[in-house]
Amino acid sequence: MKKFHLTAGPSELYFTVEQHIQQALKENVAVVSHRSKAFQDMFGFTTSQVREMLNVPDNYYMVFTGSATEVWERLAQNCISKKSTHFVNGSFSTRFHQFAEAWGHQTQKIEKELGEGFNTNDFQIDTDSDFIAITQNETSTGVQFPLEDIYKIREEHPDKLIAIDAVSSIPFVDIDLTKVDSMYFSVQKGMGMPAGLGVWLFNERCLERAKSLKANGRLLGGYHDMFTLLKNAEKNMTPATPNAIGIYLLGKVSEDLLRRKMEIVRSETVYKAGMLYAAIEEHKDLDYAVKEERVRSKTVIVIEILNGRSPKDFMSYLEGNGLVISSGYGPNKATQVRISNFPTHSKELYFQLIDLINAW
């Protein structure tokens, strides 16, 4: 029996990835020199597809990293002057806050309990903060940060850089990048690809911040600072030998999604999320882990298991029927499960999932 992964990440490969890998091997992508014309063409194609898919403004730069985790460190080194503000409501937003502290920055932590979102009327961002870190979709808890709230923060704090962690949001989230300064993601979740590639988008304001810090003596990192990454990206290259197959696949999968039409991809995501949340509401032994509807994720649905029933039993039951899901994360592992809702997960697969949930 083939098993389909509705895991929070890595997740099920996009259905065209296997054939793209086969084609990549035929074209010797795995051994192409990152200083060759063939690599430059591949790099250029991929960046053009991602830019179109995500409506990236022309004045935004795009570089590749080893992971989204790496971008935390690049931002801490290159874009935080003295103090950063972090919205923390889960394990991944917590880790970026820890990265900033590890690099010696002052930090403001605006924190919510696990499973809770933020209300823009309930917090005050410190005036001396120069950088704001927002996790748009907290993978560990299934809480999203509504886009209208992000835009409101920009209106109220136009002087501060805003960076968006969109790791489990892309390609679903349709964010207006003119209202933030940086966004980053990795490919093993919504893009349906093998892990090992990060994508970092940033604007001129971020670059000017890095220039200022460097001019004042800041070491921006011995490994791929913003300028090294950008200098190479402008030539459709990378500083060191990259994950060439990952870059190739990102271009091909982005092209596939564009062929499907992004408005359809996004509407299907909303439809599937609605189906699953309705099934949760109707089941006597299940509940929403995120109580406030406006901050419930559409891409990582977190379920509370009730009435003494076991998350492990629920996961085993689904896996026995060919569907693999994730356990709860960290302190919620014993009471919750997480189910992803990415473009590779068809409506038909979700129909099967709902039928199994109803029968449990």
pLDDT in tens, 31-90: 999 999 999 999 999 999 999 999 999 999 999 999 999 999 999 999 999 999 999 999
Mean pLDDT within 164-176: 98
- Could you tell me which residue, 219 or 100, shows the higher pLDDT? 100
How does the average pLDDT of the chain come out, rounded? Answer: 97
pLDDT(326) > 90? yes
pLDDT(222) > 90? no
For the chain, the domains span 4-11+261-359, 17-259
What is the per-residue pLDDT for 351?
98
pLDDT(1) > 90? no
What is the per-residue pLDDT for 176?
99
What is the per-residue pLDDT for 145?
98
pLDDT(221) > 90? no
Q: What is the CATH code for 17-259?
A: 3.40.640.10
pLDDT confidence band for 223 (50 / 70 / 90): confident
What proportion of the chain, given as a percentage, has pLDDT over 90? 97
Instruction: Return d(Cα 8, Cα 248) in angstroms, integer.
Output: 23
pLDDT(18) > 90? yes
Q: Is the pTM of this model over 0.85?
A: yes
Q: What is the CATH code for 4-11+261-359?
A: 3.90.1150.10
SS3 labels along the chain = CCCEECCCCCCCCCCCHHHHHHHHHHCCHHHCCCCCHHHHHHHHHHHHHHHHHHCCCCCCEEEEECCHHHHHHHHHHHCCCCEEEEEECCHHHHHHHHHHHHCCCEEEEEECCCCCCCCCCCCCCCCCCCEEEEECEECCCCEECCHHHHHHHHHHCCCCEEEEECCCCCCCCCCCHHHCCEEEEECCCCCCCCCCCEEEEECHHHHHHHHHHHHCCCCCCCCCCHHHHHHHHCCCCCCCCCCHHHHHHHHHHHHHHHHHCHHHHHHHHHHHHHHHHHHHHHCCCEEECCCCHHHECCCEEEEEECCCCCHHHHHHHHHHCCEECEECCHHHCCCEEEEECCCCCCHHHHHHHHHHHHHC
pLDDT(121) > 90? no
